[in-house]
């Protein structure tokens, strides 16, 4: 592909970010005080059970949280754009698409049913003042071709003529086609079969490298992050409880929640019973503890202090974990005893097969 990166991959600094949703019980926090840096040129994976706040975080990066939700505190500083939480109106519209490409979770259903994909592509180009619309179409065909589709045919199609997986890939094309340098992909491979999923992840990685992007991938599938992400953030109850280089976090998880997630992965070899589902369920809006640690109700290492005090940020090089038990175990210690050595092998061997989703016990 003949794309010359015009801009450098931006760094992103999320600081103290909180989002609340209005409910009958008043405004309740979905994410609280998140600090997360996206390192320029890297792919960061955000993983966590359903309801942990992953999509809310993704929307906040675009300042696209809709009522009944609102960003109640914090900032999202993006190099070249400033704090997107402060952007409004036309400035914000231009930033989305041009600077920040995105695929929302329901991408399969986000196309306009009345217009062909090609027409929607041209609308997108015009709304962002793209002078070379032929070049835009060429670029779109190229991206679709690389994702295993007949670009010309897809551009001539309406939404109903495309399968869910094809629409998902069209969504990814639309996120990349304007040459944005920050790309946010929320569950980019959910609707796809395993082979297509692997292809899409390969393309996400290739395009990321070719264009010099900063990419955020939201997923509930640890296989996806193991396959594609340089860095990993683990979310629970609206907080990032652990973050660091992907392989470091997966092979030596420090937070008891991350350990629990990894222990829930079925093994390729040996006894399947060794995969232990995390007991209990994650909190929902309104049941997230406001004091102490959000994970304590399901934590095997719970201590009295977890009831009352916010967990400290314990750092290990470029990784951090927010946990009283990790702090108590000492910086070199691991809280608990995960199958650390095996994890890398298992996740690496399974690759993006989608068989190791983040699961809790259904009680």
Ligand X SMILES: Nc1ncnc2c1ncn2[C@@H]1O[C@H](COP(=O)(O)OP(=O)(O)OP(=O)(O)O)[C@@H](O)[C@H]1O
* Helix (H) or strand (E) run with residue 200 in it: helix 194-211
Q: Cα separation of 236 and 31, whole Å?
A: 9
- In the complex, least distance from residue 220 CB atom to ligand X, rounded to whole angstroms: 5
- In the complex, least distance from residue 287 CB atom to ligand X, rounded to whole angstroms: 9
Complex with ligand X: residue 18 or 157, whichever CB lies closer: 18
- In the complex, least distance from residue 236 CB atom to ligand X, rounded to whole angstroms: 10
Cα–Cα distances in Å, from 171 out to 82, 101, 132, 177? 26, 10, 21, 10
- In the complex, least distance from residue 322 CB atom to ligand X, rounded to whole angstroms: 17
Residue 55 makes contact with ligand X by CB under 6 A:
yes
Within residues 102-131, the interface with ligand X by CB under 6 A covers: 105
Complex with ligand X: residue 69 or 97, whichever CB lies closer: 69
Among 69, 253, 336, 354, binds ligand X (CB under 6 A): 69
Complex with ligand X: residue 53 or 354, whichever CB lies closer: 53
Complex with ligand X: residue 49 or 79, whichever CB lies closer: 49
Among 45, 54, 166, 191, binds ligand X (CB under 6 A): 54
Complex with ligand X: residue 208 or 220, whichever CB lies closer: 220
Q: Cα separation of 19 and 110, whole Å?
A: 24
CA contacts within 13 A on the Cβ side of 265? 31
Cα–Cα distances in Å, from 116 out to 110, 144, 153, 183, 191? 13, 15, 10, 24, 21
Complex with ligand X: residue 51 or 244, whichever CB lies closer: 51
Residue with tokens 């599938």: 221
- In the complex, least distance from residue 5 CB atom to ligand X, rounded to whole angstroms: 30
CA contacts within 13 A on the Cβ side of 231? 20
Residue with tokens 């920040």: 100
294 touches 239 (CB < 8 A): yes
x/- mask, ligand X, residues 14-53, rule CB under 6 A, reads -------x--------x-----------------x-xxxx
- In the complex, least distance from residue 70 CB atom to ligand X, rounded to whole angstroms: 11
x/- mask, ligand X, residues 247-286, rule CB under 6 A, reads -------------------------------------xx-
Asked if omega into 325 is within 30° of 0 (cis), the reply is: no
For ligand X (CB under 6 A), the number of binding residues is 16
Complex with ligand X: residue 26 or 317, whichever CB lies closer: 26
Helix (H, G, I), strand (E, B) or coil at 284: coil
Residue 299 corresponds to which tokens in the numbers above?
Answer: 């934590």
Complex with ligand X: residue 284 or 315, whichever CB lies closer: 284
Complex with ligand X: residue 56 or 319, whichever CB lies closer: 56
- In the complex, least distance from residue 48 CB atom to ligand X, rounded to whole angstroms: 6
172 touches 147 (CB < 8 A): yes
Among 56, 199, 258, 263, binds ligand X (CB under 6 A): 56
x/- mask, ligand X, residues 184-223, rule CB under 6 A, reads ------------------------------------x---
Residue 74 corresponds to which tokens in the numbers above?
Answer: 């914090």
Nearest by Cα to 95 from 109, 112, 118, 77: 77
What pairing do the DSSP bridges indicate for beta strands 319-322 and 239-245? antiparallel
- Tell me the DSSP string of 139-197: HHHHHHHHTTS-HHHHHT--GGGS-HHHHHHHHHHHHHTT--SEEEEESTTTTS-HHHH
Complex with ligand X: residue 30 or 262, whichever CB lies closer: 30
Residue 63 makes contact with ligand X by CB under 6 A:
no
- In the complex, least distance from residue 62 CB atom to ligand X, rounded to whole angstroms: 13
Residues that bind ligand X (CB under 6 A): 21, 30, 48, 50-56, 68-69, 105, 220, 284-285
């Amino acid at each position: 592909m003949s794309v010359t990166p015009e801009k450098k991959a931006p760094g992103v600094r999320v600081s103290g970010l909180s989002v609340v949703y209005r409910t009958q019980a008043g405004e309740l926090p979905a994410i609280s005080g998140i600090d997360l840096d996206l390192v320029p040129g890297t792919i960061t994976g955000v993983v966590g059970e359903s309801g942990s706040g992953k999509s809310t975080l993704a929307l906040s990066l675009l300042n696209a949280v809709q009522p009944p939700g609102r960003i109640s505190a914090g900032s999202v500083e993006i190099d070249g754009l400033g704090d997107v939480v402060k952007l409004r109106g036309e400035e914000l519209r231009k930033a989305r698409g041009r600077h920040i490409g995105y695929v929302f979770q329901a991408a399969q259903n986000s196309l306009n049913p009345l217009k062909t994909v090609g027409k929607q592509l041209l609308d997108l180009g015009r709304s962002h003042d793209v002078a070379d619309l032929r070049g835009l179409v060429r670029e779109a065909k190229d991206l679709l071709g690389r994702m295993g589709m007949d670009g010309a045919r897809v551009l001539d199609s309406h939404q109903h003529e495309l399968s869910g997986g094809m629409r998902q890939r069209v969504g990814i094309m639309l996120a990349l086609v304007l040459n944005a340098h920050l790309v946010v992909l929320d569950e980019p491979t959910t609707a796809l079969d395993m082979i297509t999923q692997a292809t899409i992840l390969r393309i996400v990685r290739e395009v990321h490298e070719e264009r010099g992007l900063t990419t955020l991938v939201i997923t509930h599938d640890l296989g996806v992050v193991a396959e594609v992400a340089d860095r990993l953030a683990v979310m629970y109850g609206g907080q990032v409880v652990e973050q660091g280089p992907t392989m470091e976090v997966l092979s030596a998880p420090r937070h008891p929640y991350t350990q629990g997630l990894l222990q829930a992965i079925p093994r390729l070899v040996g006894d399947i019973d060794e995969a232990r589902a995390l007991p209990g369920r994650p909190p929902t809006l309104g049941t997230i503890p406001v004091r102490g640690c959000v994970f304590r109700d399901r934590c095997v290492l719970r201590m009295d202090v977890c009831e009352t005090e916010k967990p400290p940020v314990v750092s290990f090089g470029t990784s951090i974990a927010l946990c009283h038990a990790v702090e108590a175990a000492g910086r070199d210690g691991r809280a608990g005893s995960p199958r650390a050595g095996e994890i890398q092998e298992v996740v690496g061997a399974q690759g993006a097969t989608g068989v190791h989703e983040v699961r809790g016990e259904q009680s």
